[in-house]
């Protein structure tokens, strides 16, 4: 045990201290980092102070680098002159640094990224150019959100307010071009687009910027995205204000250069801030924290100390501050892992001709890859929030604030976060605590005061005053010219669709210059898919007419609100008028209904007469007996009045299950619909070009070279039936479509015309136009082989009525003959002969009617005993016990008559 203990003690005294000594020996007394900034810029000045502030905090904390001092070598660079900036950056790389903070300029960042790759020096850059990536430049580490996320936030704002086109103004360098390219991609993903792009050099003169704005004011878009630097951006806003381009109807969205300028500058001229009222801008979001508050509280003294007393802290300052801390933490882990600071000359960088760049002085950081790995693994909470990089070397959870400039300050109206990629009024750090909800219904922003001091959201576009004349394609129809046609005398277009379009244009708050271009030769109806394709190919700026809105067409163009409902229906011939006298089960005409009702009343009266004497249901007061007759008639009528459609086609299934030809209108989408959706063979389809061809083919029928039925859109069918009304429409619409005007994708004119069409519908003007062109006419009286409707005429039931009438008359004759015989047998002859003249006839008729009306007594089947007398127990030849007996009054005695 003693020996083991001594051995452990020796290990502790010699080996372990020796390891600590090695680790400490690997840490140099000072480590140099470099920084490439533009000192005379707002962002460069803020970054310089932030770097100094970070170094003070790091070097004053012995737990960070364990005695190693972190030092910085800053160099100024010229961002405006790319060549000079590149030379200055290369000269700076002749010094041995283990990491570089910056540069802020995208142009210089591209150059330095190549050098950093060669020298294996991590480049901690806050350049936002989206094309700078760790895939191309492995040693490039972006320490603030990329323009990809900034432009996603801008595009989300554009989409939120439902603007479809924007104008982009940008500085023509890597930063400007690549940023607008990223914006274009984001807008396209949201079905929006940049309708006009205009770039300018960074050193553009005032006159050049003025001409640029004049050109922008002539464009249709009133949503302007400004992606520049602070100096040219402020000039553009000032000039725009002078051109009245900051007034009502305009929307200005500046990228984060404006928020950085407003945050960093303590004093802004009143005319500058007044000239940007209502402008929106974005700012990288940094959450509140004690570290952030502490840095902000001591910023004033720091900025004075480092000769930037006029600058306040901006979002760029937070990210630069954390960049230095990320290097320090990575260095600490690098040293703990046995890393050493050493450099080796790169033989490939020797300048054999003796140039002034001294490329041979550039050295490769031997363990640069190891330090880069430590940097990518840092994970701490800084003043900008969580500092952690993803696999692509980008900061996690990038987010932006959406800011509106009001009065002398700014107001945050919402946030955009890459976590949900939506706009919200909830802080992004609160969203991170919940699962991401990406429903567009959750988007919300606070109210905005727009340019012109209005709370009403701008429309975002106007029809430009100097715009070219729009070419509007119009189908030159051969048939159904009420919808649209060309007047051969004047060459103008007219019709229902033309009136709807012109009346809708009249409601727009701006003038639209256009001309109609006929599509088709007028000898046959054109194919509407080809007309729509002309819009897709930009040969037409729009297409109007009887254009049905189909799913395939909506994939390539945008349609206005439908101005008339349209669905496919079936036109089918009805059967020839039926002259068979036994067609009892067919529906009735009005005359048929009247005669049928009258006949049933007659039948009811006959039945009442026959049943009155022996059926208690047919007795009582006259009112009760009349009700009985009517109820019996109604019941009998309901049994025999079942309507049936008198066509050979009952619906869609009959078309699909048959092999007969089917007609369709030339140019209609009905052909493709029947082939693709209904699986009807194309060989069965027959193209028809006019209403006359419709009627002729339906009259001939499929067995004589015609068609079984015609499938067409309801507006055409209704117009056809207004003249050829002896044809039926069995079933209902089997598609639900509408007609609309077609425009290129995301055309603002489509939105405004849709609103105008709704106004026409609400104020009744749309119905007035409909009645003017499509008012139903009188049906022609020819083609008598076809019936007018699904009803039967009176002659179709003549046989039934004759039989019914003959039966009624025969029944009445037999009945009254029997009654007369009984009456004569029961009435005493002396009563009849005692009367004379007309009075005798009247009294006899009354007695006969009374006899018929009396209730017939029940039948007797055994002898009756009256007044003490008895009847024989056996039948007599003079008595019929089965026959009803009637009492006969004769003086004061009562006789029983058999």
Domain with CATH 3.40.190.10 in the chain: 470-563+744-772
pLDDT at 778 over 70: no
How many CB atoms neighbour CB 305 within 10 A? 14
Angstrom distance (rounded) from CA 187 to CA 129: 18
Burial of 858 (0-12, 13-18, 19+ CB in 10 A): exposed
Angstrom distance (rounded) from CA 404 to CA 414: 10
Angstrom distance (rounded) from CA 15 to CA 170: 64
pLDDT at 871 over 60: no
How many CB atoms neighbour CB 439 within 10 A? 8
* Cβ atoms 733, 670 nearer than 8 A: no
Angstrom distance (rounded) from CA 232 to CA 634: 92
What was the pLDDT predicted at 95? 77
Three-state SS at 307: coil
Tokens 């002749």 sit on residue: 94
Phi-psi region of 143 (alpha: psi -120 to 50; beta: other; left: phi over 0): alpha
CATH level 2 (architecture), domain 147-286+399-425: 3-Layer(aba) Sandwich (3.40)
What's the rounded mean pLDDT across residues 882-891? 43
pLDDT at 104 over 50: yes
Threshold 0.75, pTM exceeds:
no
Residue 78: pLDDT band (50, 70, 90) is confident
Q: Which residues pair with 807 in a beta bridge?
A: none
What's the rounded mean pLDDT across residues 867-879? 43
Three-state SS at 699: helix
Angstrom distance (rounded) from CA 134 to CA 123: 10
Least Cα distance to 285 among 386, 185, 377, 375 occurs for 386
Three-state SS at 250: coil
Q: For the chain, what is the mean pLDDT?
A: 82
Least Cα distance to 229 among 284, 171, 273, 142 occurs for 171
> Radius of gyration (Cα) for the chain, nearest Å?
50
What was the pLDDT predicted at 588? 59
What was the pLDDT predicted at 96? 82
What was the pLDDT predicted at 183? 97
Q: Mind listing the pLDDT tens digit for each residue in 547-564?
A: 999 999 999 999 999 999
Burial 52-77, CB ≥16 within 10 A → b, else e:
bbbbebbbeeeebbeebebebebbeb
Instruction: Specify the higher pLDDT residue, 269 or 801.
Output: 269
Tokens 């000769």 sit on residue: 307
What was the pLDDT predicted at 875? 43
Out of 47-51, 267-271, 570-574, 887-891, least confident range: 887-891
* Cβ atoms 318, 260 nearer than 8 A: no
Angstrom distance (rounded) from CA 458 to CA 450: 8
Angstrom distance (rounded) from CA 37 to CA 316: 12
Q: Mind listing the pLDDT tens digit for each residue in 573-626?
A: 866 544 455 444 445 566 766 777 777 677 777 776 766 666 666 556 665 556
Tokens 């502030």 sit on residue: 53
* Cβ atoms 86, 19 nearer than 8 A: no
Angstrom distance (rounded) from CA 181 to CA 802: 90
**Which CATH number does 30-142+288-347+359-388 carry?**
3.40.50.2300
Residue 572: pLDDT band (50, 70, 90) is confident
* Cβ atoms 725, 779 nearer than 8 A: yes
The dihedrals phi and psi of 509, each to the nearest 5 degrees, come to -80, 15
CA distances from 551 to 31, 529, 682, 845 (A): 66, 12, 21, 84
How many CB atoms neighbour CB 755 within 10 A? 13
* Cβ atoms 415, 399 nearer than 8 A: yes
| 347 contacts: CB under 8 Å, gap ≥ 6 | none
Angle of the 16-26 helix axis to the 315-336 helix axis, nearest 10 = 140
- Residue 471: its H or E element: strand 470-475
pLDDT at 760 over 50: yes
Angstrom distance (rounded) from CA 338 to CA 460: 60
pLDDT at 636 over 50: no
Q: How many residues does the chain have?
A: 898
* Cβ atoms 425, 445 nearer than 8 A: yes
DSSP codes joined into one string, 752-788: HHHHHHHHHHHTTHHHHHHHHHH---PPPS--TTB-S
Q: Which residues pair with 683 in a beta bridge?
A: none
Q: Mind listing the pLDDT tens digit for each residue in 431-460?
A: 999 998 888 888 999 999 999 999 999 989
* Cβ atoms 693, 740 nearer than 8 A: no
Q: Which residues pair with 889 in a beta bridge?
A: 894
* Cβ atoms 649, 730 nearer than 8 A: yes
Terminal alpha carbon distance of the chain: 153
Percentage above 70 pLDDT, the chain = 77
Q: Could you check whether the bond before residue 103 is cis, i.e. omega within 30 degrees of 0? A: yes
- Token pair in block for residue 877: 């030849």
What was the pLDDT predicted at 640? 46
Least Cα distance to 119 among 291, 372, 312, 294 occurs for 372
* Cβ atoms 284, 426 nearer than 8 A: no
* Beta strand 470-475 pairing with 709-713: unpaired
pLDDT at 126 over 70: yes
Find the Cα–Cα–Cα–Cα dihedral 709, 715, 716, 717, rounded to 10°: 40
Percentage above 90 pLDDT, the chain = 48
pLDDT at 56 over 80: yes
Out of 584-588, 747-751, 766-770, least confident range: 584-588
What was the pLDDT predicted at 5? 37
**Which CATH number does 470-563+744-772 carry?**
3.40.190.10
* Cβ atoms 634, 626 nearer than 8 A: no
CA distances from 426 to 149, 215, 385, 445, 753 (A): 18, 39, 17, 10, 36
Instruction: List own/partner pairs for 531-537 with CB under 8 A and 24 or more apart.
Output: 531/473, 531/475, 531/742, 532/556, 532/557, 532/742, 534/473, 535/473, 535/742, 535/743, 535/744, 536/744
Q: Mind listing the pLDDT tens digit for each residue in 129-176?
A: 989 988 899 999 999 999 999 999 999 999 999 998 999 999 999 999
| 228 contacts: CB under 8 Å, gap ≥ 6 | 169, 170, 171, 176, 236, 255, 257
Angstrom distance (rounded) from CA 147 to CA 177: 11
Angstrom distance (rounded) from CA 396 to CA 145: 9
Tell me, rounded to whole angstroms, the distance of Cα 490 from its chain centroid.
Answer: 40
* Cβ atoms 783, 695 nearer than 8 A: yes
The dihedrals phi and psi of 391, each to the nearest 5 degrees, come to -65, -25
pLDDT at 241 over 90: yes
DSSP codes joined into one string, 115-171: HHHHHT--EEE----TT--TTT-TTEEE-S--HHHHHHHHHHHHHHTT--EEEEEEE
Q: Mind listing the pLDDT tens digit for each residue in 352-409?
A: 555 545 566 678 899 999 999 999 999 999 999 999 998 888 899 999 999 999 998 8
- Token pair in block for residue 614: 């022996």
What's the rounded mean pLDDT across residues 817-837? 66
Q: Mind listing the pLDDT tens digit for each residue in 497-539?
A: 999 999 999 998 888 889 999 999 888 899 999 999 999 999 9
Angstrom distance (rounded) from CA 595 to CA 600: 9
Angstrom distance (rounded) from CA 646 to CA 658: 18
pLDDT at 19 over 70: no
pLDDT at 884 over 50: no
Q: Mind listing the pLDDT tens digit for each residue in 455-481?
A: 999 989 888 767 788 999 999 999 898
- Token pair in block for residue 162: 């439902």
- Token pair in block for residue 45: 């000045």
Domain with CATH 3.40.50.2300 in the chain: 30-142+288-347+359-388, 147-286+399-425
The dihedrals phi and psi of 311, each to the nearest 5 degrees, come to -110, 135
What's the rounded mean pLDDT across residues 661-668? 91
């Amino acid at each position: 045990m003693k020996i083991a203990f001594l051995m452990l003690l020796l290990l502790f005294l010699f080996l372990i201290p020796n390891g600590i000594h090695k680790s400490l020996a690997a840490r140099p007394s000072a480590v140099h980092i470099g920084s490439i900034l533009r000192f005379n810029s707002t962002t460069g000045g803020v970054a310089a102070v932030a770097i100094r502030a970070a170094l003070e905090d790091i070097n004053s904390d012995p737990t960070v680098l364990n005695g190693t001092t972190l030092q910085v070598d800053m160099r100024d660079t010229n961002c405006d002159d790319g060549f000079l900036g590149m030379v200055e950056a290369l000269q700076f790389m002749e010094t041995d640094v283990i990491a570089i903070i910056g540069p802020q300029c995208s142009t210089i960042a591209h150059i330095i990224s190549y050098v950093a790759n060669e020298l294996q020096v991590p480049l901690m850059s806050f350049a936002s150019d989206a094309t700078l990536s760790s895939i191309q430049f492995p040693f490039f580490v972006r320490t603030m959100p990329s323009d990809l996320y900034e432009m996603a936030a801008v595009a989300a704002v554009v989409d939120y307010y439902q603007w479809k086109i924007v104008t982009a103004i940008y500085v023509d360098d890597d930063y400007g071009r690549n940023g607008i390219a990223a914006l274009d991609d984001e807008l396209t993903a949201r079905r929006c687009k940049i309708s006009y792009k205009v770039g300018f050099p960074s050193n553009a003169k005032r006159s050049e910027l003025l001409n640029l704005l004049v050109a922008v004011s002539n464009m249709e878009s009133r949503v302007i995205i400004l992606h520049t630097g602070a100096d040219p951006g402020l000039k553009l806003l000032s000039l725009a204000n002078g051109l009245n381009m900051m007034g009502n109807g305009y929307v200005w969205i500046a990228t984060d250069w404006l928020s950085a300028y407003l945050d960093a500058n303590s004093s802004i001229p009143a005319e500058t801030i007044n000239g940007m009222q209502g402008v929106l801008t974005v700012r990288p979001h940094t959450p509140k924290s004690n570290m952030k508050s502490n840095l902000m509280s001591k910023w004033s003294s720091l900025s004075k100390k480092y000769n930037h007393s006029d600058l306040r802290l901006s979002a760029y300052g937070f990210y630069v501050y954390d960049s230095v801390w990320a290097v320090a933490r990575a260095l600490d882990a690098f040293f703990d892992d046995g890393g050493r600071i050493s450099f080796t000359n790169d033989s490939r960088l020797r300048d054999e001709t003796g140039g002034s760049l001294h490329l041979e002085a550039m050295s490769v950081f031997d363990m640069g890859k190891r330090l880069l790995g430590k940097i990518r693994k840092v994970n701490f909470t800084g003043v900008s929030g969580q500092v952690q990089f993803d696999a692509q070397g980008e900061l996690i959870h990038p987010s932006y604030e959406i800011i509106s400039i009001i009065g002398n300050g700014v107001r945050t109206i919402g946030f955009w976060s890459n976590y949900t990629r939506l706009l919200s009024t909830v802080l992004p750090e609160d969203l991170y605590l919940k699962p991401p909800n990406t429903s567009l219904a959750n988007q919300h922003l606070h109210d905005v005061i727009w340019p012109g001091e209005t709370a009403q959201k701008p429309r975002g576009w106007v029809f430009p005053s100097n715009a070219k004349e729009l070419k509007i394609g119009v189908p030159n129809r051969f048939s159904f010219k009420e919808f649209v046609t060309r007047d051969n005398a004047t060459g103008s277009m007219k019709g229902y669709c033309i009136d709807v379009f012109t009346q809708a244009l009249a409601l727009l708050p701006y003038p639209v210059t256009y001309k109609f271009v006929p599509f088709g030769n007028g000898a046959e109806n054109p194919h509407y898919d080809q007309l729509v394709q002309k819009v897709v190919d930009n040969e037409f700026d729009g297409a109007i007419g009887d254009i049905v809105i189909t799913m395939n067409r909506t994939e390539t163009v945008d349609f206005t609100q439908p101005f008339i409902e349209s669905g496919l229906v079936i036109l089918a011939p009805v059967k020839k008028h039926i002259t068979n006298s036994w067609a009892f089960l067919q529906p009735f005409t009005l005359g048929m209904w009247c005669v049928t009702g009258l006949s049933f009343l007659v039948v009811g009266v006959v039945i009442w007469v026959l049943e009155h004497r022996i059926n208690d249901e047919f007795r009582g007061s006259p009112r009760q007996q009349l009700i009985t007759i009517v109820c019996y008639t109604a019941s009998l009528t309901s049994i025999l009045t079942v309507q049936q459609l008198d066509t050979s086609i009952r619906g869609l299934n009959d078309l699909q299950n048959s092999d007969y030809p089917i007609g369709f209108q030339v140019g209609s989408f009905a052909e493709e619909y029947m082939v693709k959706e209904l699986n009807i063979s194309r060989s069965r389809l027959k193209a028809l070009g006019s209403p006359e061809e419709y009627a002729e083919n339906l009259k001939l029928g499929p067995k004589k070279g015609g068609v079984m039925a015609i499938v067409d859109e309801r507006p055409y069918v209704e117009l056809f039936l207004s003249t050829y009304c002896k044809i039926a429409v069995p079933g209902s619409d089997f598609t639900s479509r509408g007609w609309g005007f077609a425009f290129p994708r995301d055309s603002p004119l489509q939105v405004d015309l849709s609103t105008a069409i709704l106004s026409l519908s609400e104020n009744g003007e749309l119905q007035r136009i409909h009645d003017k062109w499509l008012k139903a006419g009188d049906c022609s009286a020819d083609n008598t082989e076809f019936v007018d409707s699904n009803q039967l005429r009176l002659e179709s039931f003549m046989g039934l009525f004759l039989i019914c009438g003959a039966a009624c008359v025969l029944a009445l004759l037999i009945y009254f003959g029997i009654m007369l015989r009984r009456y004569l047998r029961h009435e005493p002859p002396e009563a009849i002969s005692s009367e004379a003249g007309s009075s005798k006839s009247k009294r006899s008729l009354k007695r006969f009617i009374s006899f018929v009306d009396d209730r017939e007594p029940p039948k007797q089947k055994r002898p009756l005993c009256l007044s003490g007398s008895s009847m024989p127990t056996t039948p007599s030849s003079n008595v019929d016990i089965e026959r009803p007996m009637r009492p006969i009054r004769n003086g004061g005695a009562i006789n029983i008559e058999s």
